Copies of this chain bind each other. A is one copy, B any other.
Amino acid sequence: MTECLMSNRRWCPTPEQLMVLEELYRRGLRTPTAHQIQKITAHLSLYGNIQGKSVFYWFQNHKARDRQKLRNKHLFYQTLHFQGNSGMMMRQDWLMRSSYGHDSVMVMENLGPTPNQPLQTLQLFPLTSPAAANHP
């Protein structure tokens, strides 16, 4: 039945809530705006406790996993040549990266301007270190 008798440490969607969410998704909604989330949340509240973040997460996860599924399907077809034995994919061990290669980001390289430095006085370190409580 899967009704969810969960100690509510996390949201457990009721069937009605799920139906609504899936319908919205089916209609093309993927990343609802804050306002949309509000409305959806309000509506879903009729069927049980729910927070906005749950709606937010639901869409995030659903979309992500949809995408993942597709990705894996592609990957599967394009590399399907091994593992023909059991006919069973054992698990989702397919950790395929989407080829992110760049490690650049170069965040650090803007050593230049840094126009104003408001909170310079704060001691970065020591932090873990003891007394030495010196001060400006």
Contact = CB atoms under 8 A, between A and B. Distances in A.
A132 interface: no
Interface in A83-111: 90, 92-99, 105, 107-111
B94 A33 contact: no
A5 interface: no
Give the interface size bracket for A toward B. 35 or more
Given A28-B122, A29-B122, A38 B92 contact: no
Interface in A9-48: 9, 20, 23-24, 27-29, 33-40, 42-43
B111 A36 contact: no
Main secondary structure, interface of A, reads loop
A108 B95 CA distance: 28
A96 B27 contact: no
Given A34-B75, A53-B105, A27 B122 contact: yes
A2 interface: no
